[in-house]
Structure 1
Amino acid sequence: MHPYGLSPDLTIKVFSMLDTRSVFCAAATCSFFQKCAIDPLCYINIELGTLESKIKPNKDPKTKDAMVSTIIQRAGSAIQSIKLDIKWPYISEADDDEQWEYMEGPPFLTGCCLSSLCANGGVAGTIKETLSEALSASLSVCHSLVQLKIVDMNAHISHTMESVSRHCRLLELFIFKFCGGPPDMLETSVCKEFVVNCPKITTLAVQTCILFPCVAFELVKGFNELKYVDFTNCFSLTGAFLEDLATEGGGNSLEVMILKGLYSLDKVGVEKFMEALVAGKCRQLRHLVNFHIFFVFGGTYPLYS
């Protein structure tokens, strides 16, 4: 029996179940834990949001990038997921070194922090959020990626979809919420390529972008296994999208559709879609969220609440 009660193998197994901050804290307690924490299996799921209190705002950006890069290098090919969701920090009025407060805003890392990812040959798992500058380079080595979530990042929807279509054809979940500057437009040609190259998509969210009705229809109709779709706060999306679904079909596997904040969604389009639902189209649809109105479907007829 090891003096600490667990063998190195079992200790590493336990560390692999912890978040990144907990592994760092454990490694600082003794030399035995420090040696165990070097093992790549301890970093199969890197979550940097848990390190907010460890990365202080007065650190040089290069130092922060180096820290993240080191973690990725340490994980090597064992890495399964990366989540970079560190919030923008500011010093509280107390100016106490131990009292750092955080507000939502852009991350304070640069694309250099992900350079090690390409060196590792990519990840065979999930990137939950990444930096805009390094996104294309990162995706180019993530051929086994199944989930991608980009939230509140100043990335371009069309460029992102192009990279995904080219390199991540096993993708099942794609969530994109644009942040910063004028809204970006999703191009029709990019949309069609995305549908053809990523047929396994079951969850799709495209938010706060310029999305024309024909493009939205192409997305919903094109993915045969699509169960969840969210077009919240998309500009230029009118009732013509729902009319196309009602008249031309599509969305046969759809269970949830969220259309919040669509001021251009006219009453006529909504009514035609509701009539199509009553007639038996989109039979799997159970939840429709439209602006401030929430519909729950049970059986054949919609119930309003």
Structure 2
Amino acid sequence: MSLSCCWSRSKQKSGENKTLSTFSLMDPPTSPAAQNPSSLHSDSIISSLLSFPASTPFSIACSFDRELEKALASASDDASVQDRLLNRTIQLASLLLDSTERCFRKRASAHNSVAWVLPPELTVKVFSKLDTKSLMQAATCCTVFNKCAMDRSSYAHIDLTTATKQADNEVVCTMIHRAGKELRSLKLGHVTRRYGPDPAPTSIWFNGPFLSSLAYNNGFLGSRLRSLRLYNIRWMTCSSSFEVFSFCSNLTDLRIVGSNCPFRQLFMTLTKKCRLIEHLCLGTYFPLGTMDASTVSHLIELVTKSPNLTSLTLLCFQLTNDMARNLVESCRKLKYLNFSRSPKINGHFLRDLGNSCKESPLETLIMRNCVKLEEKEVLELCNSLLKGNFKFIRHIDVSSNNGLVSDDGLLDMGFAPNKAYKIMGSAHLKGGH
């Protein structure tokens, strides 16, 4: 079921009290004395129909056919009169079906309210763990679930990654407003798992400031947000979209992957407004052009002025060895580092890392598919580890689909330092193909 369909059905469920059409059955009066003769006659006919003796569906259908044929035969020879009679019959049958479905829903809701063992507060807690598409589906089940699904706490963690193509500006903004002051995390886009040089997935385009609701009421909603993850999203107007980060001062987890955002402007905004970031992940699917000195300086300033930063991921960035070293040296609390698919890092960065960051709290180092990464520099890092440097490191991944560069400049497809892995014990080193 698509998210738009779930969202539409949820809105219909929450606004169920609507005026019936001209041909709808009126609710019975509370007092028999208030009923007019026509209403009493209608009630008598319907009561007779409901008390019809049990019979096979075929015989009942035959009876309807005979009576309808008689009514058409006794009607005027005018075709329009017969058409009106048939339309009226269809309308009456539709009213009977609608009335039956309404009664069925009421009985089901009453049954669920009794049979559902969890109190509303616990039901809301369970709903808050669902992704947003599943929450919308639950909201259409019954009145009990719909009421719990409308609670703000159910939208504390909005996850629209399971139905990206169905989520548009209106849906995103409405979800944010529905969460209100309870909003804590927001995931949006299309998550993919990439290995190797596969082309980037089809991106999702938004033709408006879909995050503008975070700036509502002077940024009240944005200030409550802790985690924001955007995958493969393209903005029509990037400049206006990034203004919303000015209201997200309490962000601790930011992930933007596969975006067309101007990173220089993003770095400047985050440096000024988002000082509490602990996990930062930025990435593209194809290498960016050479990073100019201004962009690099703003990136280093962002890292330096984020005292709580413990996890840094920069995917497919044109980082040089010096840039990478300066970033690591600027993050003294860094525990997780991922520079995968960096086309310029050739291994000197690893040697510098072993010399300048011996007491670093770094626990995980990921450098997958760095095409210029040299085998000798990886071995030098291994030796540094064996000497007791990097006391906290637990996992190193330098794997590459094309292998590592050997001393003669060729790719070594068989590099796999199993011996080093056995000696280090606690540290896990992956290499080669």
Q: TM-score, normalised by structure 1?
A: 0.80
Report SS of the residue matched to 2:189. coil
After TM superposition, give the deviation of residue 216 of structure 1 in Å: 0.6
Indicate conservation of the 8 Å contact 1:220/1:251, yes or no: no
- Bigger shift: residues 71-80 or 220-229: 220-229
1:49 matched to 2:161? The reply is yes
Match of 1:73 in 2: 177
- Report 1:287-298 matches (<5 A): 287-292=395-400, 296=421, 298=424
Match of 1:255 in 2: 363
- Bigger shift: residues 8-17 or 22-31: 8-17
- Report 1:137-216 matches (<5 A): 137-179=243-285, 182-183=288-289, 185=291, 187-216=295-324
Q: State the one-letter code of the partner of 2:202.
A: G
CA gap 1:184/1:49 in 2 versus in 1, 3 angstroms:
farther
Match of 1:112 in 2: 209
Indicate conservation of the 8 Å contact 1:81/1:126, yes or no: yes
Distance, in Å, in 2 between the alignment partners of 1:242 and 1:180 is 23
Distance, in Å, in 2 between the alignment partners of 1:193 and 1:232 is 22
Q: Which has the higher helix share?
A: 2
After TM superposition, give the deviation of residue 182 of structure 1 in Å: 4.2
Q: 1:264 aligns with which of 355, 360, 372?
A: 372
Q: How many residues align?
A: 283
Match of 2:139 in 1: 27
- Bigger shift: residues 184-193 or 141-150: 184-193
After TM superposition, give the deviation of residue 270 of structure 1 in Å: 3.5
1:83 matched to 2:180? The reply is no
After TM superposition, give the deviation of residue 45 of structure 1 in Å: 0.6
Match of 1:98 in 2: none
CA gap 1:171/1:282 in 2 versus in 1, 3 angstroms:
same
1:11 matched to 2:123? The reply is yes
Report SS of the residue matched to 1:153. coil
Kindly name which structure, 1 or 2, has the bigger radius of gyration based on alpha carbons.
2
Report SS of the residue matched to 2:150. coil
1:285 matched to 2:390? The reply is no
The CA RMSD over aligned residues, in Å, is 3.1
Give the share of equivalent positions with the same residue, in percent. Answer: 29
Q: Which has the higher strand share?
A: 1
Unaligned runs of 5+ in 1: 57-63, 89-102
Distance, in Å, in 2 between the alignment partners of 1:52 and 1:302 is 36
CA gap 1:23/1:271 in 2 versus in 1, 3 angstroms:
closer
Q: 2:229 aligns with which of 128, 131, 145?
A: 128
Q: State the one-letter code of the partner of 2:140.
A: A
Q: Map Cα deviations across residues 85-130 of structure 1 (whole Å, 9 max, x no partner).
A: 2479xxxxxxxxxxxxxx9320143442211111152133211226
Unaligned runs of 5+ in 2: 1-109, 193-199, 401-414
Indicate conservation of the 8 Å contact 1:141/1:167, yes or no: yes
Distance, in Å, in 2 between the alignment partners of 1:31 and 1:184 is 57
Distance, in Å, in 2 between the alignment partners of 1:149 and 1:301 is 27
Indicate conservation of the 8 Å contact 1:154/1:179, yes or no: no
Distance, in Å, in 2 between the alignment partners of 1:180 and 1:35 is 46
Indicate conservation of the 8 Å contact 1:139/1:167, yes or no: yes
Indicate conservation of the 8 Å contact 1:183/1:208, yes or no: no
Indicate conservation of the 8 Å contact 2:310/2:335, yes or no: yes
CA gap 1:28/1:191 in 2 versus in 1, 3 angstroms:
same
Match of 2:331 in 1: 223
